[in-house]
Chains A and B, each alone.
Chain A
Amino acid sequence: GEDVEQSLFLSVREGDSSVINCTYTDSSSTYLYWYKQEPGAGLQLLTYIFSNMDMKQDQRLTVLLNKKDKHLSLRIADTQTGDSAIYFCAEVSSNTGKLIFGQGTTLQVKP
């Protein structure tokens, strides 16, 4: 079936790089997404990558896609305390077009 897995927690120091990992199962998924959720808020689209790309960079964010291993990662350079949030990886179901989310990774940034 369709499933997305993420580690639940990551703690880094301010200024370090953060890497959040995700694995997915739908090899036909066309787009993969990263969303950010701050406390009490909805989901904010951070970035996405098309399945025929290996990498996408957007300012401090770098997305790496390994299609063979169905592995997606989000790297945040120079992590700031404002980056503390829950990060969700999501794939688009090739059958239904709906988003399948991982459990979310809580990123804690220590000053």
Chain B
Amino acid sequence: KAGVTQTPRYLIKTRGQQVTLSCSPISGHRSVSWYQQTPGQGLQFLFEYFSETQRNKGNFPGRFSGRQFSNSRSEMNVSTLELGDSALYLCASRARPGETQYFGPGTRLLVL
């Protein structure tokens, strides 16, 4: 079975721009979660989607949003980018909430 895939793997943007990251879960998995990893804050939960509905949301501003499609693929959008948004964004999938999460390789975003 193929693992979680994320695209793009690397991205450079400038302040004020917006960005969309994509995540394809493991086949059969209907839950997708997003995490932000930075050296200062560590791994922080952004949100989780299950069957196209947002189940949980972390403490991030409204500039961070996401969605999930009927094929369980998910996208995350960050608008009006700030320098502090530079991070590794990790996506994780699981069959359903409560089960073990499997992570993708991440998208490294650099905001200049």
How many residue pairs link A and B with beta carbons under 8 A? The number is 48
B103 touches A97 (CB 8 A): no
Q: In the complex, what distance in Å separates the CA atom of A36 from the CA atom of B105?
A: 12
Known contacts A42-B90, A48-B100; is-contact A97 B105 (Cβ 8 Å) = no
Query: Chain A CB within 10 Å — which of B35, B92, B101 has the most?
Result: B101
B33 touches A98 (CB 8 A): yes
Query: Given the complex, which residues of B lie within 8 Å of A98, measured CB to CB?
Result: 33, 45, 48, 56, 58
Interface of B is mostly: strand
Interface size of B in residues (CB-CB distance below 8 Å): 22
Answer yes or no: A24 CB below 8 A from chain B CBs.
Answer: no
Known contacts A97-B98, A98-B33; is-contact A104 B42 (Cβ 8 Å) = yes
Could you jot down 6 A-B contacts, CB within 8 Å?
A: A42-B90, A43-B92, A92-B98, A97-B55, A98-B48, A99-B33
A interface residue numbers (CB < 8 A to B): 30-31, 33, 35, 41-45, 48, 88, 92, 96-104
B interface residue numbers (CB < 8 A to A): 4, 6, 33, 35, 42-43, 45, 48, 55-56, 58, 90, 92, 97-98, 100-106
